[in-house]
Amino acid sequence: MVSLGGKMLPGHGVSTKLAVLGCLLLAACATPEVASGIHDPYEVTNRKIHESNRNIDRKVLRPVAYAYGESVPEPVRIGVSNFADNLSLPGDVVNNILQFRLDDAIHNTVRFMVNTTIGLGGVLDPGTAIGLTARETDFGETLHVWGVGEGAYLELPSLGPSTQRDAVGRGVDIFLNPLSYIVRKPERYALPASGVAARLGDRYRFGGTLDSVLYDSADSYAQARLVYLENRRFQLSGDLEQDDEDLYDIYEETFE
């Protein structure tokens, strides 16, 4: 309620909330603008972080990933990756809802139920076999849908390429998955553990492509920045094919 000439007007707070909700709905219905060009005002610092990340990859991530890939049979690696992807689906559903994409939320929910039950906890992927392919998203995309700009390009320590918007999104996504709160310890640790194993498998799978960018390019920083921004923008525009999505994930999460 608000005071006007000594009188209290009821419903003002409700009206304000409805107005805010209406603005959010309008923002969600509008076509978000995808950035273009390269905005990198922190290039000097980014390049130093990039070199540190390359050293981490060269000395730790790449040898561990290749040891993992060579020692663990491919069906097991695929099962681990499926399991990690399945555990991430509830977080995707939350983002689908925040983006007002209820069809995607229902689709991902059914996929999660099918893979969790018939797919033995997500180790198998019967959902894809019946047409329920994953509709992956994240809070960075949610911010994009809400109209938040991309911001400057960033190279995050140990995490790799990002932007100011996606850096915020990464932080929020850590807490957005309901399984992080519903599942008790020690089972709760399955989510990050399987995610790390899946990233090692991805590093092994795309090793040749990543090595060509990180170690064979004349300017690995500029090349990684270009690949990341182009793939991320294509993903947000909805024009990215599945193979390109896999490649985008690797560039985004090389050091995660």
Distance CA 250, CA 144 (A): 21
Task: Considering only residues 33 and 65, tell me which one the structure prediction assigns the higher pLDDT.
Answer: 65
Q: Is the pLDDT of residue 247 over 90?
A: no
Question: What's the confidence (pLDDT) of residue 255?
Answer: 47
160 & 220 share domain: yes
Collect all residues with Cβ–Cβ distance below 8 Å to 90 and sequence separation of at least 6.
112, 177, 178, 179
> What is the pLDDT, as a whole number, of residue 184?
83
Average pLDDT, the chain: 86
Q: Are residues 15 and 63 in the same domain?
A: no
Residues 6 and 43 in one domain: no
Against a cut of 0.75, is the pTM above it? yes
Q: Are residues 16 and 111 in the same domain?
A: no
pLDDT of residue 1: 47
Can you tell me whether residue 156 is helix, strand or coil?
strand
Looking at the structure, do residues 22 and 122 belong to the same domain, yes or no? no
Among 31-35, 94-98, 162-166, which stretch is predicted with the lowest mean pLDDT? 31-35
Residue that has been written with the tokens 């949610």 in this structure? 142
Q: Between the CA of residue 244 and those of 42, 206, 241, what are the distances in Å?
A: 27, 12, 5
> In this structure, what DSSP letter does residue 151 have?
-
pLDDT in tens, 202-234: 999 999 999 999 999 999 999 999 999 999 999
- Residue 18 scores a pLDDT above 90: no
In tens, the pLDDT along 145-181 reads 999 999 999 999 999 999 999 999 999 999 999 998 8
Quick one: average pLDDT of 99-112?
98
Residue 189's pLDDT band (cuts 50, 70, 90)? confident
Lowest mean pLDDT among 3-12, 60-69, 98-107, 143-152: 3-12
* Orientation angle between helical segments 164-176 and 74-98, nearest 10 degrees: 100
Same domain? For 40 and 16 the reply is no
Coil, strand or helix at 158 = coil
Domain containing residue 16: 1-30
| pLDDT number for residue 93 | 98
46/93 same-domain check = yes
Token duo for residue 1: 């309620």
More confident residue, 134 or 35: 134
Q: Tell me the pLDDT band of 110, cut-offs 50, 70 and 90.
A: very high
Regarding whether 24 and 39 lie in a shared domain, the answer is no
149 token code pair: 């700009």
pLDDT-wise least confident of 13-22, 178-187, 193-202: 13-22
Query: Are 10 and 90 contained in the same domain?
Result: no
Angstrom CA distances, 55 to 112, 144, 215, 219, stand at 37, 32, 11, 15
Same domain, 225 and 181: yes
- Are 215 and 190 contained in the same domain? yes
Q: Please write down the HEC assignment for all residues of 107-139.
A: HHHHHHHHHHHCCHHHCCCHHHHCCCCCCCCCH
Residues 6+ apart with CB under 8 A from 56: 158, 255
Distance CA 67, CA 51 (A): 23
pLDDT at 240: 55
Angle between helices 207-214 and 190-205 (to 10 degrees): 70
Burial zone of 216 (CB within 10 Å; 0-12 exposed, 13-18 middle, 19+ buried): exposed
Do both 19 and 86 map to the same domain? Answer: no
pLDDT above 70 coverage of the chain, percent: 81
User: Count of domains in the chain?
Assistant: 2
